[in-house]
Chain A
Amino acid sequence: MATTTVPGQLPERLTRIWETAPGLYGVLATVDHKTIGKRYLVTSMLFLLIGGADAAIMRLQLTHADAHIVSPETYNQLFSMHGITMIFWYAAPVLSGFSNYLWPLMLGARDMACPRANALSYWTFLMSGVFLYTSVLVGQVPDRGWFAYAPLTEAAFSPGLNMDFYAIGLTFLSVSTSVGAINFIVTLFKTRAPGLSVNRLPIFVWGTLTTSFAVILATPALTAACVLLYLDRRFGSHFYDPGRGGSALLWQHLFWSFAHPWVYIVVLPAMGMISDLIPTFCRRPLVGYTLVALATVSTGILGFGVWVHHMFATGLPATASSFFSAASMVITIPSAIAVFSWLATIWHGRPVFKTPMLFAAGFIVLFVVGGVSGVATAANAYDLQLTDTYFIVAHLHYVLIGINVFAVMAGFYFWLPKITGRMMSETLGKLNFWLMFLGFGVGFFPMHTLGLMGMPRRIYTYSSGFGWGWQNVWVTVGAYVFALGVVVFIVNFFWSLVFGEAAGANPWDAPTLEWAIPSPPPDYNFEHIPIVASRHPLWEDRLDEGTGRTVFDGPVLDRKRDTFGTTPLDAEPQEILRMPEDTVWPFVVSLSILVIAYGLLFGLMWLAIVGTVGLFIAIIGWLLPSHEPTASPVET
């Protein structure tokens, strides 16, 4: 099958085919999923640090009653930007980073199915973030919360550009998330290695696949909400203006029918990462693989039927409200299936507590705390007391830090050796875990009791006399200890780059395909495209699954940038796909959208038109056909 057209030894030939051009051109034109994945990870972690800094200032203001560290205006901007940054520009993109980097390696492919779209999704992510933070430079920062309830966001109550940054910025970002999601779906159903049927996929892949469908179905609601808001603010429409026939609750329905699925979007891939690394450290396959995969998909589906539990206090009839209460509680079952699959894997395995496993164990505990407090908020009658208090702040941080950040930390300790080729320090890793775990407990657990004691959310100050004082001191201390843990992680990362011992291909003796290739992986990922025989290709010598042995010295595909196109379910080879070369057009498309965004923001129509012209030119450039076939049938 391998017709040699490029001279030289195989690795050199493949490198020459797949490497990115040097210099600035290469920086802007690369379509390598590993480079894009790393950029996603670094950029989203920078947003995590920025969002964390927002929170650090907020906690200073809230440590004592009647404090005057920041003005109410600044505080409202801080809590808004903290939420917006963390939820939109950190929590989902960081998982996209892992998926972008790892998917082709896990799937035995040489790149994502749509490498140029992949580049586009990163550039739009970066530039929408730059756009959002321009608000800080012009001093008109979004200040209506990440949830931005109308009509408070209407021009009458929010003059200035603050909420225009929000409406346009999120619309811009939704280009990135949609393009990325489509790419994951196509990649999954088209470019897996031969033999990697869907019942052999890592759970992490199931998680990202589920969230990709959720993104495509949920994001239009947010985009619609933001476009209507922009029309109200700039063109005098009245979608959210009850005085002129609009509806204040329209925003909430649109927003939450997006934002509740989004919660699962930022946790399902993270749960998948945990499902994949626990077996490695327990020296056995995951217990109940099929149930966990089904639980992942069903959580994604159920996640679309529960948005009204954010709106129990809006005056719904008891029947409607109770329906959404029941629907929300049902989600507990797939979550419990996942938890007991992890527990069973630990108890029926032989656990080794390296740093990634420590984070995974901490993750399980925090997952359960966030889960049961979620059941409490799903009980509509009781939620009327809990909603908009610090109990909710506690709950959502157990979910978002517990299930997202702890899994991301576990993922970094597990996969960074693959990415950098260097092991991280176990000593610093354990220090990192305990600082984060204890800091989190000290800082965030008291928020539950603060909520029960009646402390409302989103208040820049409070008076003494409610018994909230000392607990707020704990919260601040805990949050800073947690932040110290993040600092230790950063130190450990740079330590590993300089002093870390070489990782080798498979430092953890893990079972999946990404560990079959050197660390860091070469430009072309796999010298030979593997032909997969089981769910655990690297454990086949010790784990007889009765499906034969994975072939690691099979086809090489070294004519040009080629990878296999396979059938959607069974991954039978169908064709050889010719992958695109480096191109700057995705960058130019993103830059053009950025120009349009600034044009719409400042009301400069000529600027928006310049951006639109640029966008059209870039799209034409992108779509110009090359003179080569994009796919050829497999000769068998």
Chain B
Amino acid sequence: MQSGMNILTSSGPVAAAQARLGWWLMIVSVLVILVVGILVLVGAFRSDDGDRRAIDRRGGGIKWIVVGGIIVPAIILVLTLSFTVATEVATAAPPADPSVTIEVIGHRWWWEVKYAGAPAHTVVTANEIHIPVGAPVRVQLSSADVIHSFWIPQLAGKTDVIPGQRNVMWLQANKAGIYRGACTEYCGLQHANMAAFVVAETPAAFRQWLQTQADSAATPTDPDAVVGLGVFQRSACGACHAIRGSEALGHVGPELTHLASRMTIAAGALENTRGNLAGWIANSQAIKPGNDMPVMALRPADLQALVAYLETLK
């Protein structure tokens, strides 16, 4: 179900246009390499029994330079440049005004995702970007710290995420699926563990998801989860994390209101399972050294209760 990151097997109009240009460049490149390679190889194997001391200046070589070094490359470059500019212009702006605008904020080392406008103005999530399939989506990029770069290879090329600057890009998925991406500007210790996912789903499913995400977290009823909420509050998790509908208002780490609905935790470093969640809370520094989450020294029973509470945040 989840895609790879191959840039030539695209699933959206931007990436498809870029891939067409890529195929052209690849074919031309291979041809040029073959021609020159053969000329070198065949040139090398021409036998010569002549006098090694002899030096001569046979003419005619200048034609090689004029044809091979000027005329042919000039033709190839004009074609390539035309194709490139056409692709650049075609992908610069979406064909229709996007109905969905998403704000993506780069943090070291995770992505904060916000959905603007009613009815979902409160929707804030992390590392997973849900979009409706078949329609252009505008993505506004900003950074909370250093430069990152936002890249979903099968949907669109990279756009840098630069502090003090708001870059805007657009993407569109032509078929439903989960598209994996990554931060591609080196941003420090855990640059390698900063994945992003685009989840493209039918417009109806997307609206349903948005509605659910707009809800505040329900107060837990399960006894384990009630204990877990207490652990959450006692351990000051809310200093860094927000859960709408609770007293937790922190904005250092990802919002957790609908944590349990996500596929992964720690920006793609771990699958979102009960065991991984417990392991992450207990010692995230062993999994993703250098991240901002402190090591939580919890008793095993408290840890289990906390995870039970977090699991209710659907």
Which A residue sits closest to B85, measured CB to CB? A322
A454 touches B189 (CB 8 A): no
Q: Please measure, in the bound complex, the distance between the C-alpha atom of A325 and the C-alpha atom of B88, giving whole angstroms.
A: 10
Q: Which chain B residues border A386 with CB–CB below 8 Å?
A: 7
The residue that A333 contacts in the complex, of B28, B70, B158, with Cβ under 8 A, is B70
**Residue B15 is within 8 A (CB to CB) of chain A in the complex:** yes
Q: Which chain B residues border A365 with CB–CB below 8 Å?
A: 33, 36-37, 40
Which B residue sits closest to A454, measured CB to CB? B5
A321 touches B88 (CB 8 A): yes
A330 touches B55 (CB 8 A): no
Q: Which chain B residues border A590 with CB–CB below 8 Å?
A: none
Q: Please measure, in the bound complex, the distance between the C-alpha atom of A337 and the C-alpha atom of B7, giving whole angstroms.
A: 32
Give A277 Cβ to nearest chain B Cβ, in Å. Answer: 15
B33 touches A368 (CB 8 A): yes
B7 touches A385 (CB 8 A): yes
**Residue B188 is within 8 A (CB to CB) of chain A in the complex:** yes
Q: Which chain A residues border B80 with CB–CB below 8 Å?
A: 329, 375, 379
Give A546 Cβ to nearest chain B Cβ, in Å. Answer: 11
Contact with A along B148-179 (1 / 0, CB 8 A): 01010100111110111101100000000000
B22 touches A329 (CB 8 A): no
Q: Which chain A residues border B156 with CB–CB below 8 Å?
A: 384
**Residue A542 is within 8 A (CB to CB) of chain B in the complex:** yes
B69 touches A347 (CB 8 A): no
Within 8 A of B (CB), among A266-287: 283-285, 287
Q: Which chain A residues border B162 with CB–CB below 8 Å?
A: 242, 248-249, 314-315
Give B286 Cβ to nearest chain A Cβ, in Å. Answer: 11
Q: Please measure, in the bound complex, the distance between the C-alpha atom of A337 and the C-alpha atom of B68, giving whole angstroms.
A: 7
Q: How large is the interface on B (under 10, 10 to 19, 20 to 34, 35 or more residues)?
A: 35 or more
**Residue B305 is within 8 A (CB to CB) of chain A in the complex:** no
> Which of A247, A285, A315 has most B Cβ within 10 Å?
A315
Q: Which chain B residues border A1 with CB–CB below 8 Å?
A: none
B44 touches A287 (CB 8 A): no
A459 touches B192 (CB 8 A): yes
Q: Which chain B residues border A149 with CB–CB below 8 Å?
A: 146-147, 185-186
Q: Please measure, in the bound complex, the distance between the C-alpha atom of A315 and the C-alpha atom of B92, giving whole angstroms.
A: 10
Q: Please measure, in the bound complex, the distance between the C-alpha atom of A466 and the C-alpha atom of B63, giving whole angstroms.
A: 47
Give A304 Cβ to nearest chain B Cβ, in Å. Answer: 20
Give A433 Cβ to nearest chain B Cβ, in Å. Answer: 12
Q: Determine, out of B46-54, B97-105, B211-219, B243-251, the stretch whose residues face the partner at the interface.
A: B46-54
Give A380 Cβ to nearest chain B Cβ, in Å. Answer: 6
> Which of B25, B61, B67 has most A Cβ within 10 Å?
B61
Contact with A along B10-29 (1 / 0, CB 8 A): 00000101110110011011
The residue that B65 contacts in the complex, of A344, A364, A458, with Cβ under 8 A, is A344
Q: Please measure, in the bound complex, the distance between the C-alpha atom of A376 and the C-alpha atom of B24, giving whole angstroms.
A: 9
Q: Please measure, in the bound complex, the distance between the C-alpha atom of A157 and the C-alpha atom of B158, giving whole angstroms.
A: 23
The residue that A72 contacts in the complex, of B69, B157, B289, with Cβ under 8 A, is B289
A318 touches B53 (CB 8 A): no
Q: Which chain A residues border B72 with CB–CB below 8 Å?
A: 336
The residue that A351 contacts in the complex, of B48, B73, B145, B185, with Cβ under 8 A, is B48
**Residue B296 is within 8 A (CB to CB) of chain A in the complex:** no
**Residue A419 is within 8 A (CB to CB) of chain B in the complex:** no
Which A residue sits closest to B169, measured CB to CB? A315
The residue that B60 contacts in the complex, of A71, A248, A348, with Cβ under 8 A, is A348
B7 touches A454 (CB 8 A): yes
Q: Which chain A residues border B164 with CB–CB below 8 Å?
A: 242-243, 246-248
**Residue B6 is within 8 A (CB to CB) of chain A in the complex:** yes
B187 touches A343 (CB 8 A): no
Q: Which chain B residues border A157 with CB–CB below 8 Å?
A: 108, 145-146, 188
B192 touches A461 (CB 8 A): yes
Q: Which chain B residues border A455 with CB–CB below 8 Å?
A: 5
The residue that B18 contacts in the complex, of A347, A349, A381, with Cβ under 8 A, is A381
Within 8 A of B (CB), among A298-345: 313-315, 318, 321-322, 325-326, 329-330, 332-333, 336-341, 343-345
Q: Which chain A residues border B185 with CB–CB below 8 Å?
A: 149, 388
Give A354 Cβ to nearest chain B Cβ, in Å. Answer: 11
Which B residue sits closest to A322, measured CB to CB? B85
A325 touches B73 (CB 8 A): no
A382 touches B44 (CB 8 A): no
**Residue A21 is within 8 A (CB to CB) of chain B in the complex:** no
B158 touches A145 (CB 8 A): no
Q: Which chain B residues border A287 with CB–CB below 8 Å?
A: 61-62, 64-65
Q: Please measure, in the bound complex, the distance between the C-alpha atom of A386 and the C-alpha atom of B29, giving whole angstroms.
A: 15
**Residue A389 is within 8 A (CB to CB) of chain B in the complex:** yes
B5 touches A466 (CB 8 A): yes
**Residue B263 is within 8 A (CB to CB) of chain A in the complex:** no
**Residue B119 is within 8 A (CB to CB) of chain A in the complex:** no
Q: Which chain B residues border A384 with CB–CB below 8 Å?
A: 18, 156-159
A347 touches B61 (CB 8 A): yes
Q: Please measure, in the bound complex, the distance between the C-alpha atom of A459 and the C-alpha atom of B194, giving whole angstroms.
A: 10
Which A residue sits closest to B35, measured CB to CB? A368
Q: Which chain A residues border B290 with CB–CB below 8 Å?
A: 72-73
**Residue A550 is within 8 A (CB to CB) of chain B in the complex:** no
Q: Please measure, in the bound complex, the distance between the C-alpha atom of A459 and the C-alpha atom of B149, giving whole angstroms.
A: 14
Which B residue sits closest to A323, measured CB to CB? B85
The residue that A452 contacts in the complex, of B6, B52, B85, B108, with Cβ under 8 A, is B6
A379 touches B84 (CB 8 A): yes
B91 touches A381 (CB 8 A): yes
A389 touches B184 (CB 8 A): yes
The residue that A381 contacts in the complex, of B87, B153, B184, B187, with Cβ under 8 A, is B87
Also in contact, A249 and B165, with CB within 8 A (given A157-B188, A313-B160, A466-B4): yes
B70 touches A336 (CB 8 A): yes
Also in contact, A322 and B159, with CB within 8 A (given A283-B56, A372-B28, A454-B4): no
The residue that B57 contacts in the complex, of A285, A338, A352, with Cβ under 8 A, is A285
**Residue A507 is within 8 A (CB to CB) of chain B in the complex:** no
Also in contact, A333 and B69, with CB within 8 A (given A72-B192, A313-B149, A381-B157): yes
Which A residue sits closest to B157, measured CB to CB? A384
Q: Which chain B residues border A314 with CB–CB below 8 Å?
A: 160, 162, 167
Within 8 A of A (CB), among B260-312: 289-290
Give B172 Cβ to nearest chain A Cβ, in Å. Answer: 15
Q: Which chain A residues border B6 with CB–CB below 8 Å?
A: 452-454, 467
**Residue A543 is within 8 A (CB to CB) of chain B in the complex:** yes
Contact with B along A376-398 (1 / 0, CB 8 A): 10011111111111000000000
**Residue A616 is within 8 A (CB to CB) of chain B in the complex:** no
Q: Which chain A residues border B235 with CB–CB below 8 Å?
A: none
Q: Please measure, in the bound complex, the distance between the C-alpha atom of A344 and the C-alpha atom of B115, giving whole angstroms.
A: 62
Q: Which chain B residues border A364 with CB–CB below 8 Å?
A: 36, 40
Which A residue sits closest to B190, measured CB to CB? A72
Q: Please measure, in the bound complex, the distance between the C-alpha atom of A382 and the C-alpha atom of B8, giving whole angstroms.
A: 11
**Residue B236 is within 8 A (CB to CB) of chain A in the complex:** no
Q: Which chain B residues border A343 with CB–CB below 8 Å?
A: 36, 39-40, 43, 64, 68
B33 touches A369 (CB 8 A): yes
A337 touches B70 (CB 8 A): yes
Q: Which chain B residues border A247 with CB–CB below 8 Å?
A: 164
A336 touches B5 (CB 8 A): no
B184 touches A456 (CB 8 A): yes
Q: Please measure, in the bound complex, the distance between the C-alpha atom of A3 and the C-alpha atom of B164, giving whole angstroms.
A: 72
Q: Please measure, in the bound complex, the distance between the C-alpha atom of A574 and the C-alpha atom of B40, giving whole angstroms.
A: 45
A348 touches B58 (CB 8 A): yes
The 9 A-B residue pairs whose C-beta atoms are closest, nearest first, are A242-B164, A454-B5, A384-B157, A287-B61, A344-B61, A459-B192, A344-B64, A340-B69, A315-B167
11 contacts between A and B (CB under 8 A): A149-B147, A149-B185, A152-B146, A157-B108, A287-B62, A315-B159, A339-B36, A344-B65, A353-B44, A375-B77, A455-B5
Q: Which of B's residues lie within 8 Å of A, judged by CB?
A: 4-8, 15, 17-19, 21-22, 25-26, 28-29, 32-33, 36-37, 39-40, 43-44, 46, 48, 50, 52-65, 67-70, 72-74, 77, 80-81, 83-85, 87-89, 91-92, 108, 145-147, 149, 151, 153, 156-160, 162-165, 167-168, 182-193, 289-290
